[in-house]
Amino acid sequence: MSGAGPSRGHRLLNIAGGSAGNLVEWYDWYAYSAFTLYFAPVFFPKADQTAQLLNAAAIFAVGFVMRPVGAWAMGVYADRRGRKAGLTLSVTLMCAGSLMIALTPGYASIGAAAPALLVLARMLQGLSVGGEYGASATYLSEMAERRHRGFYSSFQYVTLISGQLIALALLLVLQAAMPERALEAWGWRIPFAVGAALAVVVFVLRRRLAETRSFHNAKREARPRSSGWTLFRDHPGAALLVMALTAGGTLAFYAYTTYMQKFLVNTSGFGRETATAITALALLVYMLLQPAAGALSDRVGRKPLMVAFGVAGTLLTVPIFVALEQVRSPLAAFALVLAALVAVTGYTSINAVVKAELFPAHIRALGVALPYALANTLFGGTAEYVALWFKSEGMERGFYWYVAGMCALSLIVYVRMRDTGRHSLIAED
């Protein structure tokens, strides 16, 4: 396996296969957020809309609490057993979580057991996504050619966004095809059943992926076995760097994407269908920007893009959200949401490859996954809950300043770090 690398056609087939699985994983994950407005009343006692969304957001955050556990367990598994094995296991857990949500009765039928089962399902999905990020980021980065690594690894967020977009598209279809009462009563279960079925297809697909040369080469080296202790003992600087560069980026991403749909309804005052359409269209453009930004990083380096996001996120977050409070035109709302997403593209398009380039192969999957998951749990997973808490306390703009402040802190990290594209630890081409 140390000779000539795979042909370009073979690389592309495996990158496409890994990306397709990532799409389904993130579709399942985001279906929860996209359909929260409909199923929140099913699982929680009657209350005002903000309180119901707050409860649902808290369970959304519970899924993030499990992500570091999944990142640790499956990061170690992917480093020891292979990237392919880690990808296959993650999609199996996602299938189980989605099927559980699709089949769980509501609060009116089984009482407190309903939200308890919802928590369990989100825990399974959190384990899955925690492992998925590290395994897929590592797999795509290792499978790509060196001179196109930023471009190909950007497809992790293309498929991530695609998953979110498909969840929103299905929501639009169901909103058009079903009476609202039926969608609130049982139609919201359809996307979770679809996700479970797609996960079975992906399981078969991922069993056929090729393993990366980096993993095979690392297996022949006399290096310490991947573990949480080894990671923080031997690579503390890189692990802390991943957490620091992730904090502002992941908070901004979740503020501008998963929370934005609810913000447009709960604060801007748009109808649910209009808010979904605005979000979906902005995400479509945003998705198409990722490969272009990834390719740009192959030419100018990773650091300039991350610095650009840090500056834009720091300066523009508050003005964009304040403007969205008052906007009444769907077109103007789309332009403002898209502006926020363009800003965060400097982070999302290349964050996977930046993290992979920081670690040697024998601990790369864990090094990418665990520090990222810790930061994502603290800042990304709590974004909706924190935003809704600020709103419930009558201090909604405090959330805007919180996001801008975290972007500023990450900007300091981006300015001080080395450009990983020019100092990559991925040895194979």
SS3 of 198-262: HHHHHHHHHCCCCCCHHHHHHHCCCCCCCCHHHHHHHCHHHHHHHHHHHHHHHHHHHHHCHHHHH
* Res 429: pLDDT: 58
As a whole number of angstroms, the distance between CA 372 and CA 416 comes to 19
Q: Could you tell me if 349 and 157 are in contact, meaning their C-beta atoms sit under 8 angstroms apart?
A: yes
As a whole number of angstroms, the distance between CA 361 and CA 79 comes to 8
Asked if the structure places residue 429 within a domain, the reply is no
Asked if the structure places residue 332 within a domain, the reply is yes
Q: 10 Å Cβ neighbour count for 98? A: 29
The amino acid at residue 138 is: T
Asked if the structure places residue 4 within a domain, the reply is no
Asked if the structure places residue 211 within a domain, the reply is yes
Residue carrying the six token digits 């902005």: 282
Asked if the structure places residue 38 within a domain, the reply is yes
Instruction: Tell me, letter by letter, the H, E, C secondary structure of the chain.
Output: CCCCCCCHHHHHHHHHHHHHHHHHHHHHHHHHHHCHHHHHHHHCCCCCHHHHHHHHHHHHHHHHHHHHHHHHHHHHHHHHHCHHHHHHHHHHHHHHHHHHHHHCCCHHHHCCHHHHHHHHHHHHHHHHHHHHHHHHHHHHHHHCCHHHHHHHHCHHHHHHHHHHHHHHHHHHHHHHHCCHHHHHHCHHHHHHHHHHHHHHHHHHHHCCCCCCHHHHHHHCCCCCCCCHHHHHHHCHHHHHHHHHHHHHHHHHHHHHCHHHHHHHHHCCCCCHHHHHHHHHHHHHHHHHHHHHHHHHHHHHCCHHHHHHHHHHHHHHHHHHHHHHHHCCCHHHHHHHHHHHHHHHHHHHCCHHHHHHCCCCHHHHHHHHHHHHHHHHHHHHCCHHHHHHHHHHCCCCHHHHHHHHHHHHHHHHHHHHCCCCCCCCCCCCC
**How open is the CA angle 289-341-307, to the nearest 5 degrees?**
85
Among 398, 375, 376, 373, which residue's Cα sits nearest to residue 387? Answer: 398
**How open is the CA angle 93-94-98, to the nearest 5 degrees?**
120
Structure tokens at 95: 């299938």
Per-residue confidence in pLDDT tens, the chain, 429 aa: 444 455 666 677 777 777 777 788 788 878 887 788 788 888 876 666 676 667 777 776 777 778 899 999 989 999 998 888 888 888 889 889 999 999 999 888 888 788 888 888 988 988 888 888 888 888 888 888 888 899 988 988 898 889 888 888 898 899 889 998 899 889 999 999 999 998 888 888 888 888 888 888 877 776 778 888 999 999 999 999 999 999 999 999 999 988 998 899 989 889 888 998 898 899 999 999 999 999 999 999 999 999 999 999 999 999 999 999 999 999 999 999 999 999 999 999 999 999 999 999 899 999 999 999 999 888 987 898 899 999 989 999 999 999 999 999 999 999 999 999 888 888 765
Count of structural domains within the chain:
1
Structure tokens at 371: 């520090």
* Res 242: pLDDT: 95
As a whole number of angstroms, the distance between CA 68 and CA 91 comes to 17
Within 13 A of 318's CA, how many CA atoms are on the CB side?
12
pLDDT tens digits for 385-425? 899 999 989 999 999 999 999 999 999 999 999 999 888 88
Residue 257: CATH number of its domain: 1.20.1250.20
* Res 396: pLDDT: 93
* Res 407: pLDDT: 97
Q: Could you tell me if 270 and 330 are in contact, meaning their C-beta atoms sit under 8 angstroms apart?
A: yes
Asked if the structure places residue 425 within a domain, the reply is no
Domain that holds residue 337: 9-416
Asked if the structure places residue 253 within a domain, the reply is yes
Asked if the structure places residue 423 within a domain, the reply is no
CB contact burial 222-257 (16+ within 10 A = b; e otherwise): eeeebbbebbeebbeebbebbbbbbbbbbbbbbbbb
